[in-house]
A and B are shown apart, each in its own frame.
Chain A
Amino acid sequence: MEQHEREHILVRPEDYDKNFSTLNLGPTHPATHGIFQNILTMNGETIVDTEQTIGYIHRAFEKLAERRAFYQITTLTDRMNYCSSPINNIGWQTTVEKLIGVETNKRIDYMRIIIMELARISDHLICNSVIGVDSGALTGFVYVFQEREKIYEIYEEICGARLTTNLGRIGGFERDFTPSVIQKIRDFIDHLPKVIRQFESLLLRNRIFMDRTINVGGISAERALNYGFTGPCLRAAGVDYDVRVMKPYSSYSDFDFTIPIGTQGDTYDRFCVRQEEIWQSIKLVKNALENLPEGNFHMDVPEFYLPDKEDVYSKMESLIWHFKIVMGEVNIPVGEVYHSVEGGNGELGFYLVSDGGRTPYRLHFRRPCFVYYQAFPEMVRGSFLSDAILTMSSMNVIAGELDA
């Protein structure tokens, strides 16, 4: 291997006399589904090597977080993986609860599980249907988009927002599930299996789809671990690592569910793993909704949870807390925590260092996309351009999560 004129582009000696062309895939390209760039060195239709440029929507969340009160950081986390923002929100809230030592009751935990699993369903629905789109089957995408719309309606009913949800609060929820929310979730969960079965009948055993995805963009379990893969991409390679099981949070240990794994780590396996995870999520939502315990929808955390508006107007203490929280004048205990949740793409980690001030001293987000997207050159070297596009969409690279 010798160095190409652009560094770290490897060219084999027997290819020296060939004319390579450079192809810019992105930053704004329909196939990247977000703003990031791939500079491909092509030999005809075959990819010799690729180099990624990222950072186009970098918004300096880690720096911003150093000047913000904890409740204001929830809105930053929304904008990371915007296909499943409630998971990010709840991940951040549980991190803070771990730092300040709040144990939430079962009702809050189960409510959180319902929302996080709905978010996972919407994340996987988008990703899997987009694999279909990129391989030329637009129909499935249209089928499941309506279901995503229903999930967004559920978010809307719970918190008023659809995409960047800012859902939940430190210590629980801003309000309880109304009967209408419960009804909407129930209707959705009853209806969804039919749609998923329809969607699967379109793609899962479709000859063209299988030919396009099997043995495309594969990675071995060993390389995947070395590259820090997590989530469906790691499980497709055959490693059964799931944060919900390995480090259970929010009472996931109360539930019985299966972690699907693949064998080849290729695009088809990633598709199948996500598809099975949707089925598992449906089961989880159903179980959590059936067994939703009675209890309060928030814990007693006066330093972080806003008091009732009525109390603010009538009780001195509530007024003081309200003021302190809104103005960000709550002192945070000294400490250092790493907490992670299973996001749509894998282990979403929060490393929070507090020095006793009013804002985090340092907050680092471990974004699963950012970690595993660096394996992309290794996964597509030697394959066709059209396969690289399928590999990229099956990795579910979300630009917001990539750049933070």
Chain B
Amino acid sequence: MSEEYSVEIVNPEKSFLSKDDVTEVVVPAFEGEIGILKDHISIISFLKPGIIKIYSKSGEDSFYVNDGIIEFKNNNLSILTSLILNLKDIEKEKISEIQKSAEEELNKSDINDQEKYLLDQKLEVLKSIN
């Protein structure tokens, strides 16, 4: 029996990526990383800033995401995200740009704990790839 399922990543502008030979996807869910294999139970979850890893027959891909929602159902994984960047051809300036705006945001006084947590996360991830 094949161990593959299909994944689709969409951002508001377009369908970013669509693959149907995926064996495992690791997503940075809100309460910790989730690895999804075939026949996982139907799940809806949130993403925090982090790295999505997609393992497929044709190789391994990594993407940086800002936020997002995932839905897994009937061996179809949909990932909705507002900002996604492929780590392979990412530009250093772009990362620094996001990093800078996150830092500015963090310095504002009127943010709540949750926002602060997310921004901290974001910076940590960005630093690790930069």
Is the pairing of A and B real?
no
Interface residues of B (CB under 8 A from A): none
Interface residues of A (CB under 8 A from B): none
